Amino acid sequence: MQKIIDGFLNFQQNVFPEHSELFQRLAKAQSPSALFVTCSDSRVVPELLTQQDPGDLFVIRNAGNIVPSYGPEPGGVSASVEYAVAVLKVSDIVICGHSDCGAIGAIATGQCLAHLPAVAHWLRYADSAKVVIDARQHATAQARMDALVRENVIAQLANIRTHPAVALALEQGRLNLHGWVYDIASGSIDALDGNSRHFVPLAANPQTCALETKGKRAPWGP
């Protein structure tokens, strides 16, 4: 804990004064350009990966970068999605999975979660990804894990489209969706190409988008 406190003291004494003008602006309002949904894993830091300043990203973090489908009992994720899209008017949503994800690993290996009932219930929102992966052949256990990480990103992109605020923004042509997978060991990101339905290196394909609707009407279907 002392390391965390020391970090804050360094921020207060050294970092904050250097960016005081930025923080004065942020004290009055925020205007992030993107909603970034990713895992709670301590190794994944959205602002570090994307080199964004405070105020640039509206971030949702949870186990497995999951977005439950919209329902009669919306929770914290649903409320945050609604606020980001309907109030803050973000123009892009990124759902970012990552390598060596504990949540996805538990699903991939069929780990018993009876002693973690809340976790077990939460991971049911990735069931559609598991069903797809179970229907495929995989050369190795690692290949199965990697495929499930990617398929879960696709599943959560489908889930987020069931949220009314997102559906409306897509229909109005003011929102793009992105699906990313971050590799911790290499620092690389693969992005979902909505046309080919394959993940491609983002560095070589910086314009890749899972669903592009800004300036046009959303295509029909999932």
Query: Active-site residue numbers?
Result: 39, 41, 43, 98, 101
- Residue 148 identity: L
Which residue in the block uniquely carries the two structure tokens 């997102």?
A: 166
- Residue 128 identity: S
Burial of 217 (0-12, 13-18, 19+ CB in 10 A): exposed
Angle formed by the axes of helices 127-134 and 102-109, nearest 10°: 50
For residue 32, CA distances in Å to 36, 49, 53, 87, 90 come to 10, 16, 10, 11, 6
The bridge status of strand 211-212 relative to strand 198-201 is unpaired
Give the integer Cα–Cα distance in Å for 30 and 58. 9
Rg (CA), the chain: 18
